[in-house]
Amino acid sequence: MGKYLIGIDLGTSSLKALLLDSQGHYQSPTSFNYPTHSPLPNYSEQDAGDWYSAAVMAIRSLISETGVKKKQIEGISFSGQMHGLVCVDHHGNPARNAIIWSDQRSAPQVQRIYSEFGKENYGLLTGNPLSTGFMLPSWLWVCENESSTAKRTRFLMLPKDYLRYKISGDFYSDPSDAASTGLFDVAEKTWCQSLLEACAIPETLLPEIRASHQAAGQVAKTVAAECDLLEGTPLFVGGGDTAVQALGRGIYRENEISLAISTGGNLLAISSAPRIDRELRLHCMNYVLPDLWYNMAATLSAGYSLKWLKENFAPELSFASLADLAQDIQSSQGLFFLPHLRGERTPYMDPKSRGVLIGLTSQHRLAHFVRAVMEGVVFSLKAGFDTMKDLKVNAQSITMSGGGVQHPLWIRLVADIFARPIRVSSFAYSAPLGAAMLAGIGSGIFSDFAEACQVAAAPSVSEVFPDAKSSEQYRRMYEQYQSLYPLVKEFYKNEVT
């Protein structure tokens, strides 16, 4: 009788799950959506109950569609959207909606922490810049603005840790996700005591840290009935989605780079020691392998920028149709887009920055808008890549994934703007695949990370090479693009509302 693993990815817009067998074959990948709520401008919240409902539906779907028996499930592990805050009360229920990573309300708390610690000193403590949407400033916002919620809160959880807690009742996190809270010492792999003391956060609010592949409880009796699982099915900790997704693509060696375009966009570069950017333009996070780290450059509004354009200006067209329009023209004809619709992270770390379309003429049509938006997103990722090179990141390979690989223009733009060959992984479920691989390592189905990657990781299906002429044109355009942010920052310095 075969052995199977379940991988669950709690994403920003949907929960994805799949079954993986011991031979590395996956079955019945499935996805269930849930909404994001914005009760006020710059607010981004989700109902954690929606996550659990989606997980129950996904697990039941996997079991019913494949015919796999409950006793064949050897383990379940998790990937999840990073940074966010779930306040959990003494009864194990959310005390309010989760504040997720794209939330911008906590800018005053970020600035106050920098003022009290010094920006560079904070970076040396944690290895990271601090941004809105991180657990630390979001929790301080709750304490200052919702005192009754703060008093009811027993635990502070990251999204995927809450989902696992809901299934098992056990409270853990891992270094790859804890590093995204703003409270973690990435070099020592522990909660930063000086920050906890200064911010008056008892460590009892925070989870015990375990490695991503270690055991983290079992499926509880009541949940087993809901999910059609056996009570006692082992759970494993899991990790932050950026790292777990990269593992699902087989990235585990130093200087391998992962590039993803989804709602947000990111670049990940593996290292054997923490590389901390003293200018705090890049994140330094723990990887899901115990003795590896990664630097991350993040663009907040990657695929989201195209979504914004579609919903507001061409709701009748599909994303593919929009990208087809842009592919059919050779140039955006001097139109530039700064994709700072929700502020920006790398390299500016500026939640107040604004998006800009500049260079409009009467000759521009929808196709030019779409192409400029897509180019602007890739220019933003290129800025992150250039920042990585300042830390002596020596890219051995770049593997692209995420929703962006569903259209060839995204891939072509990355190859030409980066002026490098790009390996393409078109598998849309690499995060739940990576989570299942972690369960396989923890349960002993795979002997180590190398075997898991060799047996189960999603392969790159193609390699796209840059066009020399286009790369030279984009090199010149990128220089112009780089001048936009300083102009925007100065323009909005004394904003009139």
**Residues shown for the chain:** 497
Biggest CA–CA distance in the chain, Å, is: 68
Q: In whole angstroms, what is the distance from residue 378 CA to residue 382 CA?
A: 6
DSSP assignment of 107-125 equals HHHHHHHHHHH-HHHHHHH
Composition of the chain by helix, strand, coil, percent to 5: 40, 20, 40
Determine which one of 103, 161, 241, 277 is catalytic.
Answer: 241
Q: In whole angstroms, what is the distance from residue 438 CA to residue 163 CA?
A: 16
User: Which long-range contacts does 479-488 make (Cβ < 8 Å, 24+ apart)?
Assistant: 480/336, 481/336, 481/338, 481/376, 481/379, 482/383, 484/336, 484/338, 484/356, 484/358, 485/338, 485/340, 485/344, 485/348, 485/353, 488/338, 488/340, 488/353, 488/354, 488/356
Count H helices and E strands in the chain, helices first: 18, 24
* Pick from 247, 233, 214: nearest CA to 75: 233
Q: In whole angstroms, what is the distance from residue 70 CA to residue 134 CA?
A: 37
- Would you call 241 a catalytic residue per the annotation? yes
Q: Which H/E stretch holds residue 360?
A: none
- Kindly list the distances between the CA atom of residue 236 and the CA atoms of 24, 156, 373, in Å, as whole numbers in the listed order: 18, 19, 40
Directed axis angle between helix 107-117 and helix 119-126, to 10°?
90
Q: In whole angstroms, what is the distance from residue 383 CA to residue 350 CA?
A: 14
Residues with active-site annotation: 241
